Amino acid sequence: MLLLEIKRTFLPSGLINYLLLLWIGIIWGLQFMFNEWALSTIPPTTIAASRSLIGAIILSLFLIGQRRNQSFVQTFQGPWFFYFIIGLAEAAIPFSLVAWGQGQIDSGTAAILMGTIPVFTIILTKMFIPKEQLTIGSLLSVVIGFIGIWILISPTTAGLQNNLWGEFAVLGAALSFSISLILINKLPDISPIATSRNILIGASIYLVPASLIIDQPWTIQTTPLSLLSLFILGSMCGGVVYVMYVMLIMRAGATFTSLNNYLVPVIGTMIGVGFLGEKFTWSAIAALVLIIMAMMSNELGKRKEAKSA
């Protein structure tokens, strides 16, 4: 299996690491386009449920294919109470909010707003992990990031209420992802891929019944494009990308892997403009630049703190 062969080749700062980083950014940047296409015929709750369920199946198949001392059944061991809670914050809530929000706003705006995840994470980390010190870089990143959000959202407050609620929905998804990152730190040190699969199973417990009750998916009139988009959202954006993400952390560390947050808003916005014919407004450009500056401020602050330690 190609991914496993790559994993065996340990090149911490080599070309393979950058290719993996680029692919992670591309896949997570593409999710907004596939959401747009899936939403043409499929309701948001069913999109969220399918994404969680397909992702869990893909990761289960990967675990079955791994040759390890631990059996497949043993990968289901762990704190399932936390899996259900994190599944709600990591997948059930954000998948639903992003899918619904993109029904009101374009994919480029959604991609930019999802770029605020690191900003929310900084705030929550300082609130719930007291040992973390507030550096000048992290403080600047919060201020700059929220200025970017305000610039992006402020034009829609003039009367486009649907757009405003769509933007708030995607911001809520970003906040939910950030909460899940804090909660994941409480989990025991077990297989990251099994943990991701179990979290997606936890999310499916909420979303699949909700989809069956609310949307009655057997009555939905789909198209080949919307079905293909739904499968890609689950298999790639909810399954394979997690394998690549974990692999990159093992090869190059969490700090290097976190650089994908710079790529997702840029790629998502470029795809929206290039493939979906969306307009790139000056407010979107300014917000994108400011949010990237916010992430860079935090990253530079971390590096400066590490050098002085």
127 Cβ partners below 8 Å, 6+ apart? Answer: none
Q: What is the pTM of this model?
A: 0.77
pLDDT at 283: 77
pLDDT at 5: 44
d(CA 259, CA 135): 19
Q: Could you tell me if residue 71 is inside a domain?
A: yes
pLDDT at 253: 62
Q: Could you tell me if residue 228 is inside a domain?
A: yes
Write down the residue that tokens 């062969």 correspond to: 5
Per the structure, the complete domain to which residue 59 belongs is given by 15-308
Count of domains in the chain?
1
Q: Could you tell me if residue 74 is inside a domain?
A: yes
pLDDT at 301: 67
Q: Could you tell me if residue 2 is inside a domain?
A: no
pLDDT at 206: 92
Q: Could you tell me if residue 9 is inside a domain?
A: no
- Residue segments in the chain with a per-residue pLDDT below the cut of 70: 1-14, 67-70, 129-134, 155-162, 189, 250, 253-256, 258, 298-299, 301-309
pLDDT at 70: 67
Q: Could you tell me if residue 8 is inside a domain?
A: no
Q: Could you tell me if residue 10 is inside a domain?
A: no
pLDDT at 45: 92
Report how far apart, in Å, the C-alpha atoms of 303 and of each of 135, 207, 308 are. 11, 40, 9
**Contact at 8 Å (CB) between 235 and 61?**
no
